[in-house]
Amino acid sequence: LVDQSDMEAFRTRLWDHPALVLIETPSNPLMRVVDIAALSAFARAAGARVAVDNTFLSPALQKPLSLGADYVLHSTTKFLNGHSDVIAGAVIAADAGEARALRHWANVTGAIAAPFDSWLTLRGLRTLFARMAGQERNAMAIAERLVVHPAVARVHYPGLAGHPDHALAARQQQGFGAMMSFELAGGEPAVRRFVRAVRIFTLAESLGGVESLVAHPATMTHVDMGADARARAGISDGLLRLSVGLEHVDDLLAGLDAGLSAC
């Protein structure tokens, strides 16, 4: 593991001659953005392939293959399907020969989605661009509300001008997406009050559907890391992650305010 926003640390790790570099951008749950083109160039010079997990943005908002990646990974469960009724994934290869090889091995090992799950994902793809646009609009409104709220210590959303990677995200992406996280000033006690009082947002681990979700990484998605590893990664006990859906923005803001007022 290496902080891929630290270019010098990344280049140093390439001295170990990895076969594959895995990039997640934006990162989960702190929403850091890394330069896919730059990292791909460094990795290729060291003889490594590059795979980018594009789940948080989908092809509607980020196209890693055009930035130099060799593979793109998606949890199609999330934004591609968009309706929280499928468990599936996808690997896309830039090279046609490798794509054929991946298709062959997926077929012979049975690592393929069921026909109905595939149909549901295709159904979701038809509304992908419309959903991503609407969810991003809602997310921006929520981020702007959170960043000025006294109960909130920090907001992690690349669409905000104050985000450390805002300029990179604006250049590399075609939008800022519907995922964000924020830290409550009151820590975990405030988190517990928030999740009891919040409305509209459902407490759940998944993401990318038309419904809005809130998750507490320290006790849910990242609990297996352990407290020390989370602290090193910057995942505090007061951090909450939001997957913003397509509900009316006024309802979302009112539901969020209900939770924040309890903090």
pLDDT digit string, tens, across residues 33-42: 999 999 999 9
Q: Where does the chain hold its CATH 3.90.1150.10 domain(s)?
A: 128-261
Comparing C-alpha atoms, which of 88, 82, 151 is closest to residue 117? 88
Q: According to the model, what pLDDT value does residue 6 have?
A: 78
**What is the CATH number assigned to the segment(s) 7-125?**
3.40.640.10
What topology does CATH give the domain 128-261?
Answer: Aspartate Aminotransferase, domain 1 (3.90.1150)
Token pair recorded at residue 110: 């049975």
Its pTM stands at 0.95
Residue 45 vs residues 2, 50, 56, 77, 240: alpha-carbon distances, Å = 18, 11, 27, 34, 38
CATH 3.40.640.10 residue ranges of the chain are 7-125
The model's confidence at residue 23, banded by pLDDT at 50, 70 and 90, is: very high
pLDDT digits (tens, 9 = 90+) for 230-245: 999 999 999 999 999 9
